[in-house]
């Protein structure tokens, strides 16, 4: 029986663009939509079929565009609505798809809806946001509860005109919308979703896709960080009581009118069973989701630690996180995604492999083998295809721009009264997982500012742009970019086992150096066998039981001449045909 593959997005190779840092066309130092259009032939040649464009909406840019002041207009430095129409048309002319970020848990505090809502308690938009009365203690005004904002401090902000607080799970300039109010939901559907789908958009990546429904009693969160006035409250706003009801309504009233669009959800803090409720073919709330177990390795993802408190994860932990994502497909009709980078993470080369010069390119190619061998819809992040890596350790806080990183650094500064060793520790953590690592300008060539802009870039360009850039790698048939092109083609050529393969099995879960896994072709008796060396030394190959002596076809390796042992940071993919798979 063949695995059903009616959806175009399952096999699509996707590429995320962070507009501010991608390509500047007019010399103002900020990337823009015409710059994106100019690179579409490059992306097409790479093998990209779907572009995910991060927020380009009009915004005060308190959180890099995730604070939207108008869903129906463009942030002027990025371009115009006409430019967006051209981008949609240009993508479609190249037989490429385009999806946008859908940010509808919150807006900017400069959105017209909020400016009206904050005026008083009786205006037409009074209930479009989440307002609560102060908690009075000994005659003093306090926030309604002890919830912490994800970015630090209280999740509540006082507005004198209403003598009330509004909820903001992120920065105070991002008030949360009140999804309990049907008028609010209809306004969101019309302005944020229908407006763009009517222009021919092919779908959305849904930001904070499980936060719309809160516990409306707004209880105090339990104390998990002693001594802190505000506490993590994830259990009161992640996967809330009406979440699925809201998404079913959105699907029935809006999305089903636009055919087979891609809705890929960001689902932080969500267990396996809960994820299935969102992505099963029956529920169709989301097409697929991003699971964060892999990219949060080495961080305190539960909110019980600070951003600079990173720790070194192990390869067994990395394998287990990948296994968990792949296991979502075992015995279910769900679908998943494959990614190691996005705009919120450090670079995968630095975090999961090595960015030391002697092994950097080989390691980047090995990660390409890993990603292209996993089942699901694959997402590359801009610059990943050339092996961009984290900013150098000698950079200072003045080189960073991300509000989350700056808040984390200032928190350390305040807590430890400017202690130099603590600040050094904070910078070390930010150098590994800070979001600016992903937001440095794409390195197009070896000219000034890496060919990103002719002006002054809004954020510092990586020091290594003369060695790591697109132009140089396009001319080198041994480059990381050339290897990515090869792997994307192979992923298509062997789609049934690489993209749609089932029964993912890890054969060396506790090995600290080598990652060995197999997958089965869904229809035929074919098996894919993958070896990945995550170390600086040669490593022996541990063949799974029954596969030691069978005939194997080498599909790809990232070294010139694969030998008896795995070379440092080598990856290999073998195909084992049906005659030897039976019983293996």
- Would you say residue 522 lies in a domain? yes
- Whichever domain contains 133, its CATH number is 3.90.400.10
* Residue pair 529/544 in contact by the 8 Å Cβ criterion: yes
Task: Say how many C-beta atoms besides its own lie within 10 A of residue 459's C-beta.
Answer: 18
Burial 2-39, CB ≥16 within 10 A → b, else e: eeeeebebbbbbbbbbbbbbbbbbeeebbbbbbbbbeb
Tokens of 337: 């995604």
- Would you say residue 496 lies in a domain? no
- Would you say residue 117 lies in a domain? yes
Looking at the structure, tell me whether residues 403 and 433 fall in a common domain: yes
Looking at the structure, tell me whether residues 80 and 134 fall in a common domain: no
Q: What is the pLDDT along the chain (584 residues), one digit of tens a residue?
A: 344 556 999 999 999 999 999 999 999 999 999 999 999 999 999 999 999 999 999 999 999 999 999 999 999 999 999 999 999 999 999 999 999 999 999 999 999 999 999 999 999 999 999 999 999 999 999 999 999 999 889 999 999 999 999 999 999 999 999 999 999 999 999 999 999 999 999 999 999 999 999 999 999 999 999 999 999 999 999 999 999 999 999 999 999 999 999 999 998 888 888 999 999 888 889 999 998 889 989 887 644 456 667 888 999 999 999 999 999 889 888 999 999 999 999 999 999 999 999 999 999 999 999 999 999 999 999 999 999 999 999 999 999 998 888 888 898 899 899 999 989 988 998 988 999 999 999 999 999 999 999 999 999 999 999 999 999 999 999 999 999 999 999 999 999 999 999 999 999 999 999 999 999 998 888 999 999 999 999 999 989 988 988 999 999 999 998 899 999 999 999 999 865 555 54
Helices 360-372, 480-493: crossing angle, 10 deg rounding = 20
- Would you say residue 263 lies in a domain? yes
- Would you say residue 565 lies in a domain? yes
Looking at the structure, tell me whether residues 468 and 514 fall in a common domain: no
> Of residues 49, 58, 109, 266, which has the active-site annotation?
266
- Would you say residue 435 lies in a domain? yes
Looking at the structure, tell me whether residues 558 and 436 fall in a common domain: no
Active site residue 207: yes
* Residue pair 556/490 in contact by the 8 Å Cβ criterion: yes
- Would you say residue 348 lies in a domain? yes
Nearest to 350 by CA among 317, 389, 305: 389
Looking at the structure, tell me whether residues 361 and 347 fall in a common domain: yes
Query: 265 pairs with which residues across the strands?
Result: 206, 289
> Of residues 83, 157, 207, 385, which has the active-site annotation?
207
Looking at the structure, tell me whether residues 21 and 134 fall in a common domain: no
Looking at the structure, tell me whether residues 287 and 356 fall in a common domain: yes
Active site residue 266: yes
Looking at the structure, tell me whether residues 129 and 87 fall in a common domain: no
Three-state secondary structure call for residue 71: strand
Q: Which domain holds residue 139?
A: 112-167
- Would you say residue 461 lies in a domain? yes
- Whichever domain contains 566, its CATH number is 2.60.40.1180
Looking at the structure, tell me whether residues 370 and 324 fall in a common domain: yes
- Whichever domain contains 321, its CATH number is 3.20.20.80
Task: Say how many C-beta atoms besides its own lie within 10 A of residue 501's C-beta.
Answer: 24
Looking at the structure, tell me whether residues 446 and 428 fall in a common domain: yes
Q: How far is Cα 25 from Cα 40, in angstroms, rounded to an integer?
A: 14
Domains held by the chain: number? 3
């Amino acid at each position: 029986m063949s695995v059903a593959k009616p959806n175009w997005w399952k096999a699509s190779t996707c590429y995320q663009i962070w507009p501010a840092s991608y390509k500047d066309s007019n010399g103002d130092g900020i990337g823009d939509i015409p710059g994106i259009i100019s690179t579409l032939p490059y992306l097409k040649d790479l093998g990209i079929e779907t572009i995910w464009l991060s927020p380009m909406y009009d915004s005060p840019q308190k959180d890099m565009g995730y604070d939207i002041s108008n869903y129906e207009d463009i942030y002027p430095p990025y371009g115009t609505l006409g430019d967006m129409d051209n981008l949609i048309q240009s993508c479609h002319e190249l037989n490429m798809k385009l999806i946008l970020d859908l940010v509808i848990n919150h807006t900017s505090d400069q959105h017209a809806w909020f400016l009206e809502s904050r005026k008083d308690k009786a205006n037409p938009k009074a209930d479009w946001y989440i307002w609560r009365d102060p908690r009075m203690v000994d005659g003093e005004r306090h926030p309604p509860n002890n919830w912490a904002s994800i970015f630090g401090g209280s999740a509540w902000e006082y507005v004198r005109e209403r003598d009330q607080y509004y909820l903001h799970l992120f920065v105070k300039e991002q008030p949360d919308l009140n999804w309990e109010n049907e008028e609010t939901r209809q306004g969101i559907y019309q302005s944020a979703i229908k407006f763009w789908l009517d222009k021919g958009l092919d779908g959305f990546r849904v930001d904070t896709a499980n936060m719309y429904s809160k516990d409306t009693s707004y209880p105090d969160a339990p104390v998990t960080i002693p001594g802190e006035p505000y506490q993590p409250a994830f259990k009161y706003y992640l996967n809330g009581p009406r979440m699925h009801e809201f998404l079913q309504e959105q699907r029935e009233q809006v999305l089903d009118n636009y055919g087979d669009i891609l809705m890929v959800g960001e689902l932080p803090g969500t267990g396996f069973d809960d994820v299935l409720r969102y992505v099963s073919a029956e529920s169709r709330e989301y097409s697929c989701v991003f699971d964060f177990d892999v990219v949060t390795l080495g961080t305190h993802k539960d909110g019980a630690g600070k951003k600079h408190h990173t720790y070194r994860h192990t390869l067994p932990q990395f394998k287990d996180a990948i296994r968990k994502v792949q296991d979502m497909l075992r015995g279910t009709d769900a679908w998943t995604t494959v990614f190691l980078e996005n705009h919120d993470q450090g670079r995968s080369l630095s975090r999961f492999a090595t960015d030391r010069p002697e092994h950097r390119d080989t390691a980047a190619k090995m990660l390409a083998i890993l990603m292209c061998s996993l089942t699901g819809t694959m997402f590359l992040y801009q610059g990943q295809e050339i092996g961009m890596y984290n900013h150098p350790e000698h950079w200072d806080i003045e080189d960073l721009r991300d509000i989350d990183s700056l808040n984390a650094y200032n928190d350390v500064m305040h807590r430890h009264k400017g202690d130099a060793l603590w600040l050094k520790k904070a910078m070390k953590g930010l150098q590994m997982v800070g979001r600016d690592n992903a937001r440095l300008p794409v390195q197009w060539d070896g000219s000034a500012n890496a060919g990103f802009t002719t002006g002054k870039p809004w954020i510092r360009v990586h020091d290594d742009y003369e060695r790591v850039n697109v132009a140089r790698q396009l001319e080198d048939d041994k480059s990381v970019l050339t290897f990515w092109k090869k792997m994307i083609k192979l992923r298509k050529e062997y789609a049934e086992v690489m993209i749609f393969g089932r029964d993912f099995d890890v054969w060396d879960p506790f090995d600290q150096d080598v990652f060995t896994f197999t997958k089965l072709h869904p229809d035929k008796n074919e098996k894919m066998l993958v070896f990945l060396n995550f170390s600086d030394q040669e490593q022996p190959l541990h063949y799974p039981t029954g596969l030691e002596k069978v005939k194997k076809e080498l599909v790809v390796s990232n070294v010139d001449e694969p030998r008896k042992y795995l070379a440092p940071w080598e990856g290999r993919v073998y195909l084992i045909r049906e005659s030897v798979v039976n019983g293996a």
